[in-house]
Structure 1
């Protein structure tokens, strides 16, 4: 994929007062965000009406996504736990990642088959470094947990194509989007540069045409 210059799109403010909005997800007609610093997960409709959907005061909800049956998943990165919200609103541990790494976990994405991918973790940072090389872990619908990629240069966003055949991850410290082929069992292969970037991707999504969008915080813009 090549970079193309685009005209800026019109902007409209739809929500204010967020402490630190992270992990934006479009779900069921609303924009959901993790409000870091408050433990809240908030949904905002197109008119700007916001609703606190879940509060987890004891943990920092890093990232969210949904299982195919609609249950919400929350990654509590510092605690090393993947939480699941049941139909009655209760939270249970869906997967415990603490045995894999003592480093924080960052984000999740779920494919159409119910495979869950979690990035982050990895070895401890080297002396003088803030972040070590990260990993990607697969949690299957059967509950098995295994590492499927390593040496990720600070994972900062993941997306799965609608056909469930490709996972794309933003590597902020390498200025690239990296693609993997996804097999039927959820494992990954054919690691490759999906897009070389002139910037630092932080959060990505795919649009209806299959193009990736990413935010570039240092350069204060978004790129398609």
Structure 2
């Protein structure tokens, strides 16, 4: 990665490379988990760069999330299914095709094991809530390509990136898991937002694909920090590592997945930030 140092934070360093299209990074139990959407696999990498691979043949995985029992949920984009990996086998736990009009994308899983999953229509996209008992409900409509999602530290708010809308949108999470009180967190972003991560100051680190940057945005839209990645495409980010102050930066060489088939140029870099991660994932 060619990155420009904006503050006194260290310039990002490469952790792992050689993927088709990395997506959905999640820090869990000392490992970074991420999808290779076009490589039909989910990978883990530790901080030394050691990688393991979970093949998911026939699926294009994207969003990831962990239930309280430690099992991994995987959003299979084109099949519009949710998969579950229990440490040994991968099974289909839900088919969301009847509820969604477009491929699945990112997800976030709450403390009750409820998964919020975006369906990425460019207009009138939806968020589906998948409960632990397998019941699926559309809980938000009218989104412009819902993408990265995160839940605040107090578990009261879900924030979603609307890529084609170039905004971050917030919802109040009801005790029943419903999403209410839709409001704008940040609008008029410098590029389409993809994956996001929340920090302890309430800021949202956002991958802005066509802006070739990762930016920290606060409520109201002000940008307080940014990481320029040259000619690469910012895809997604996660906060984890020691004290959750390591920002994982997933990037690729093109914003359009069809142009990345067969390539191995997606990578994950890391840098240390001032404020630790907070909330979910």
TM-score normalised by structure 1 residue count = 0.87
More contact order relative to length (CA 8 Å, sep ≥ 6): 2
Q: Equivalent residue of 2:176, what SS?
A: coil
* Post-superposition CA distance 1:28-66 (Å, at most 9, x none): 1121111122211111111222111x1111111122111
Q: Please, which runs of 5 or more residues in structure 2 have no aligned partner? A: 1-5, 217-281
Verify the 8 A CA contact 2:44 2:51 in the aligned structure 1. Answer: yes
Structure 1 equivalent of residue 86 of structure 2:
86
* Post-superposition CA distance 1:157-196 (Å, at most 9, x none): 0001122211000011111110000011100100000122
Q: Equivalent residue of 1:15, what SS?
A: strand
Structure 1 pair 102/195, CA: closer, same or farther in 2 (3 Å)? closer
- Alignment partner of 1:181 is 2:180: no
Verify the 8 A CA contact 1:167 1:179 in the aligned structure 2. Answer: yes
Alignment equivalent of 1:151, drawn from 142, 145, 153: 142
Structure 1 equivalent of residue 77 of structure 2:
77
Alignment equivalent of 2:151, drawn from 143, 147, 160: 160
Partner Cα distance (1:103, 1:200) in 2: 18
* Post-superposition CA distance 1:48-98 (Å, at most 9, x none): 22111x1111111122111011000011121111111124x1122221111
Structure 2 equivalent of residue 119 of structure 1:
118
Structure 2 equivalent of residue 108 of structure 1:
107
- Which 10-residue stretch deviates more, 164-173 or 90-99? 90-99
TM-score normalised by structure 2 residue count = 0.70
Verify the 8 A CA contact 1:100 1:121 in the aligned structure 2. Answer: no
Q: How far does residue 118 in structure 1 lie from its aligned partner after superposition?
A: 0.8
Q: How far does residue 210 in structure 1 lie from its aligned partner after superposition?
A: 3.0
Structure 1 equivalent of residue 259 of structure 2:
none
Q: Please, which runs of 5 or more residues in structure 1 have no aligned partner? A: 1-5, 123-130
Partner Cα distance (1:112, 1:210) in 2: 19
Structure 2 equivalent of residue 128 of structure 1:
none
Q: Equivalent residue of 2:164, what SS?
A: helix
- Alignment partner of 1:18 is 2:19: yes
